[in-house]
């Protein structure tokens, strides 16, 4: 028997005649309102000119170079990591080391491929060592930091080549030794400033030691470079 509100009248009488207005918002509506702003319309790199993309990436690389020279700003280099800067520095350093007398068969010095492999293989080994010791940063973040911190040694390579054009003998060696030592120290300082905080306190020395050897080998190649005759 149906419930009644008034004598002889059902409680829900006339409910079937009620219609829902289309203007009433329905929770869970999956339709996109006309005129709404799409996320892709805010920022999209698919439609931007190639020139703008290249310039933006170059500005990002330049900012990371500044972070290496002033390593107190460590968060940006770790957060917005990339491998374009390390690749550029590695190729530049390898090309400058390529043009020396070390390329002769008698000296058996490093070729372009050897320098390239030493830098990248050394970076991978240090990164794996850092991860095994409990490092909290990602694999590619570590590669990014180690690669960008080659910048001081790359600058030292440029200075050494300029010095070799104007000086020879003991004076040239002393100047190059000072420049390479300062650049080596800055590379180690910058890289440890970025990576040390991501390591357990009782294992930082085990992380810094391979970094020291890595930049020492690169610094030694820069110091012992001599132009071909």
Work out the average pLDDT over 92-112.
65
Residue 167 is given by DSSP the state -
pLDDT, position 200: 75
Work out the average pLDDT over 77-97.
83
- Contact 116/147 with Cβ under 8 angstroms? no
Distance, in Å, from the CA atom of 86 to the CA atom of 73, rounded to the nearest integer, reads 18
- Contact 146/210 with Cβ under 8 angstroms? no
- Does residue 102 register a pLDDT over 60? no
Kind and range of the H or E element at 223? helix 204-223
pLDDT, position 220: 92
pLDDT, position 39: 46
pLDDT, position 217: 92
155-182: pLDDT as tens digits: 999 999 899 888 778 888 999 999 999 9
pLDDT, position 185: 93
- Does residue 134 register a pLDDT over 60? yes
Confidence of residue 78 (pLDDT cuts 50, 70, 90): low
Kind and range of the H or E element at 35? none
Query: Is the sign of the CA dihedral 215, 187, 199, 119 positive or negative?
Result: negative
Kind and range of the H or E element at 101? none
Q: What is the mean pLDDT of the chain?
A: 75
What global pTM score does this model have?
0.70
- Contact 76/64 with Cβ under 8 angstroms? yes
Backbone phi, psi, residue 100, to 5°: -110, 175
pLDDT, position 30: 41
- Does residue 106 register a pLDDT over 80? no
Confidence of residue 143 (pLDDT cuts 50, 70, 90): confident
Q: What proportion of the chain, given as a percentage, has pLDDT over 70?
A: 69
Backbone phi, psi, residue 14, to 5°: 85, 5
pLDDT, position 104: 47
19-75: pLDDT as tens digits: 545 554 544 444 444 444 554 444 556 677 777 788 887 888 888 888 787 776 555
pLDDT, position 209: 87
């Amino acid at each position: 028997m149906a419930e009644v509100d008034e004598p002889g009248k059902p409680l829900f009488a006339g409910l079937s005649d009620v219609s829902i207005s289309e203007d009433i918002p329905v929770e869970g509506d999956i339709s996109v309102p006309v005129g709404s702003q799409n996320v892709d319309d805010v920022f999209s790199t698919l439609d931007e000119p190639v020139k703008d993309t290249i310039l933006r990436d170059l500005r990002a690389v330049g900012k990371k170079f500044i972070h290496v020279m002033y390593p107190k700003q460590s968060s940006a280099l770790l957060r917005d990591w990339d491998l374009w800067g390390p690749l550029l520095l590695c190729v530049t350093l390898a090309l400058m080391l390529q043009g020396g007398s070390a390329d002769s068969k008698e000296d058996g010095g490093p070729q372009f491929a050897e320098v390239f492999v030493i830098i990248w293989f050394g970076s991978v080994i240090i990164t794996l060592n850092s991860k095994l010791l409990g490092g909290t940063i990602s694999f590619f973040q570590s590669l990014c930091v180690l690669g960008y911190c080659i910048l001081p040694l790359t600058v030292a390579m440029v200075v050494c080549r300029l010095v070799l054009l104007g000086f020879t003998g003991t004076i040239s060696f002393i100047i190059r030794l000072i420049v390479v030592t300062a650049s080596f120290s800055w590379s180690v300082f910058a890289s440890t400033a970025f990576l040390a905080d991501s390591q357990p306190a009782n294992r930082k020395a085990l992380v810094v030691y391979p970094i020291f050897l890595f930049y020492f080998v690169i610094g030694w190649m820069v110091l012992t470079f001599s132009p071909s005759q």
